[in-house]
Amino acid sequence: MKIGIIGAGQIGGTLTRRLRELGHEVAVSNSRSPETLADLADETGATAVWAKDAATDADLVIVSIPQKNVPDLADGIVDARTPGAPVIETNNYYPQQRDGEIAAIEDGQVESAWVAEQIGAPVHKVFNGIWWKHLLENGKPSGTANRIALPVAGEDGPGRELVHGIVDQLGFEPVDAGPISESWRQQPGTPVYGKDFDAERTREALQAATTERTAEWSARIDGSPA
């Protein structure tokens, strides 16, 4: 499969390594020139490209960049993918820690819906809540007891099936987390975020989530004691 990755940080770089190990053809980019990814390309056999070219003819596109940088992506950044190819976004909104205030999200827009709006394409949300080192090292074969499960939010159809297949290939149990409108259930601050639960506990944690944005994950509440 041909996969384009926009973002070569901890998650994007880890997915580059793991997907190449699985034999996929990977084009990877960052916010700078392809030359800055020479070491990653040499290590993995991935092709370093400009961000605007990462999605060209790709069967799957992965966007893995700081949330605050999404609006800076080129217009139509994923439009050159193959027709119907799904787009994964792994991003998280960290208002106090990195991103500053994004008004639409603070006003209640679901983080992944905001990303989809910015890039002009529907997305699937996955890989946003697992530590990169566990993504790199803790995958297990299908059927392994207590296999780490990863929630996948997005619309039903062939795109979801492909995304679930990639998650399974990487060694994790894909769990249907509903449409993107429900992806708030796996945002930072929710019971499933940052946990290495199995499939049953992942489903329970998704159901236990609430829409309240806690003080730690808001730009508008400082979280200080009253």
What's phi and psi for 43, nearest 5 deg? -65, -40
Could you report the per-residue pLDDT of 19-28, keeping only the tens digit for each?
999 999 999 9
Could you report the per-residue pLDDT of 148-185, keeping only the tens digit for each?
999 999 999 999 999 999 999 999 999 999 999 999 99
Please name the helix (run of DSSP H) or strand (run of DSSP E) that holds residue 88, with its range, or none: strand 87-89
- The model's pTM is 0.95
Helix (H, G, I), strand (E, B) or coil at 108: coil
Residue 92 — pLDDT band, cuts 50, 70, 90? very high
> What does the DSSP 8-state code read for residue 210?
-
User: Long-range contacts: 41-49, Cβ < 8 Å, 24+?
Assistant: 43/17, 44/16, 44/17, 44/20, 45/20, 46/5, 46/16, 46/20, 49/4
Q: In the structure encoding, which two tokens stand for residue 54, read together? A: 């990462």
Cα–Cα distance, 121 to 57 (Å, whole number): 15
* Residue-averaged pLDDT of the chain: 96
Closest CA to 182 of 95, 102, 115, 124: 124
Cα–Cα distance, 167 to 136 (Å, whole number): 12
Percentage of the chain with pLDDT > 90?
A: 95
